[in-house]
Amino acid sequence: MVVTKSATRPGKPYKEFPLFPHPNGQWAKKIQGKPWYFGKWENPDAALQRYLDEINDIQAGRDPRRTGIELVSDTISVVDMLNMYLTSMDRKQAAGEISARHFGDCKRSCKVVADHFGRNVRVPALRATDFSALRKAFPSTWGATKVGMEIQRMRTAFRWAAESELIPALPNFGPDFRKPPKRVIRIEKQERQAKHGTLDFTAPELRTLVDSSNGWMTACILPGVNSGFGASDCGRLRVNNIDMATGWYDLARRKTGIPRRCWMWPETRAAIHDAMMQRPLAVNDDDEALCFLTSHGKPVWWESAAGNKCDNVGNARNAKVFYVRALKPPK
């Protein structure tokens, strides 16, 4: 991750100097409860002169930087702000506060913003029309749910910058740069289901799905039907997560930490037991306690710290789904 400023801040040129060195690399002063930035550390004289030129307007409640069309060259740029935000998110990922997948999503969202605005645009110069143009630049292939998630992540980056006092205030996003209404999302979902069908399975289809599978794939399908397990739940399932005698599964959700306890059917436990008896030795010792391993001795689902993911469960499951949907009705 690129860090734009050194962690070592300079001292004041002299004791009476009215500004302080802000971590974003500028001389700053808090005026009427709001932070103002006046120039880079490298040029305290220019920062002082700008402070003297603007202090009267600021104290009078006027913003001298909203007049004219010239951009302020020494306020933080969009790219620098996003780099600082991602550095903070990277630390949260290392501390286990966010997942690698979420961090990867944030990086991709920030790249969309940076590519659209460019390297030289300053955050305080952004207006509602700029964010409206960013929204219009989204790919047409993005659905309403995808658009909503992207806008939420982008707004969060600017909110973090405002709360960190890297920018004077939260930008005016305007009426267009908001998550799509729930009504639009519902309509889009209905249209998608009408075109591709629902993901609901009948009892005969589920039996066909189980009968056409074998090994660890069968043992992954049953917890999905039994307890709503997803691919990552199956990939992380360990021997000590299930009491095979009583059938109770007890493990908090990885993302939220919310406790989750459910009862596994006898046939689900039997399938898991059979898969464990057939699994090969794990390539890595840390994976030896996993219930499911591929024929190569690796987890059936994994995600790296860099956000890379391998989903053998999803790939095999999707193939089986198409197989079931393609079955002809029994004569």
The Cα-based distances of 121 to 115, 155, 229, 251, 256 in angstroms read 11, 17, 45, 47, 36
| Residues 288, 246 share a domain | yes
Are residue 182 and residue 89 in the same domain, yes or no?
yes
Say if residue 114 is in the same domain as residue 214.
no
Select from 174, 194, 214 the last residue of a domain: 194
Q: Is residue 319 very low, low, confident or very high in pLDDT (cuts 50, 70, 90)?
A: low
Whether the pTM exceeds 0.75: the reply is: no
> Is residue 39, in this structure, part of any structural domain at all?
no
Domain boundary among 175, 194, 213: 194
Taking residues 47-58, what's their average pLDDT?
87
Task: Give the residue-averaged pLDDT of 12-16.
Answer: 90
Instruction: Give me the CATH number covering residue 139.
Output: 1.10.150
Tokens of 284: 């890595």
Q: What is the CATH number of the domain that holds 259?
A: 1.10.443.10
Q: Where is pLDDT greater, at 319 or 270?
A: 270
Query: Which of 44-53, 78-87, 138-147, 199-208 has the least mean pLDDT?
Result: 199-208
Structural domain contains residue 19: no
> Which of 171, 194, 217 finishes a domain?
194
Question: Which residue segment(s) compose the domain that 227 sits in?
Answer: 203-325
Tell me, yes or no, whether 242 and 273 share the same domain.
yes
Q: Is residue 165 part of a domain?
A: yes
Average pLDDT for the chain: 84
Counting the structural domains of the chain, the total is 2
Residue linked to tokens 């009705």: 329
Instruction: Please determine, for residue 72, whether its predicted confidence score (pLDDT) is greater than 50.
Output: no
Statement: residue 323 has pLDDT above 70: no
Same domain as 285, residue 184: no
The pLDDT of residue 328 is above 50: no
Counting Cβ atoms within 10 Å, is residue 75 exposed (0-12), middle (13-18) or buried (19+)? buried
Residues 214 and 294 reside in one and the same domain: yes
Residue 58 burial (10 A CB sphere; 0-12, 13-18, 19+) = middle
